Amino acid sequence: MLDELRELYQEVILDHGRNPRNCRRPEDANRKARGHNPMCGDALVVHLTVDEQDIVQDAAFEGQGCAISLASASLMTEILKGKTKAQARDLFESFHAMCTRPDFDPEAEQADPDALERLQVLAGVREFPVRVNCATLAWHTMVAAMAGQGDVTTE
């Protein structure tokens, strides 16, 4: 159990949790959604700047939450830049599978392998079902923002 906890709170997560990247509101953002994880109290707003070719020019977030939710949001905003809407959706699907499926195989996924490798630090939440909502909140919120939905909750 202790080893698993240690694995879950790897240095990368602690670093991004303490110093989240892209924690701001871009002036030119044109998509936004609010995400809430009532189980933990994580509350995020995801801002996206998507251009006419459906490419994410900027991704950022604001809000409060546990280290896992903030680290996930921080990594997500770094990874999304330059991705198309479809690639972002693939990443969401693959990341969700990574967090929930014990037999997850990154090589069988469509999503960008480099991005999946970076996200691997969060895969430890598989062992802690309550934490899955923390890790995926930013992603659910990003998908809602892309779809033009305002609010999303993990329940």
**Chain residues in the site for Zn ion (CB under 5 A):** 40, 42, 66, 69, 134
| Contact between 5 and 60 (Cβ < 8 Å) | no
Q: How far is the CB of 131 from Zn ion (least distance, A)?
A: 7
Minimum Å gap between C-beta 92 and Zn ion is: 18
Nearer to Zn ion, 14 or 147 (CB): 14
Cβ 103 to Zn ion shortest distance, Å: 25
Question: For the packed helices 85-100 and 67-80, what is the interaxial angle rounded to 10 degrees?
Answer: 150
> Shortest Cβ distance from residue 146 to Zn ion (Å)?
22
Contact 45, 62 (CB under 8 A): yes
The residue (of 29 and 44) whose beta carbon lies closer to Zn ion is 44
> Is the CB of 42 or the CB of 112 nearer to Zn ion?
42
Closer to Zn ion by Cβ: residue 99 or 111: 99
Q: Compute φ and ψ for 110, nearest 5 degrees.
A: -80, -25
144-154 burial: b if 16+ Cβ within 10 Å, else e: bbbeeeeebbb
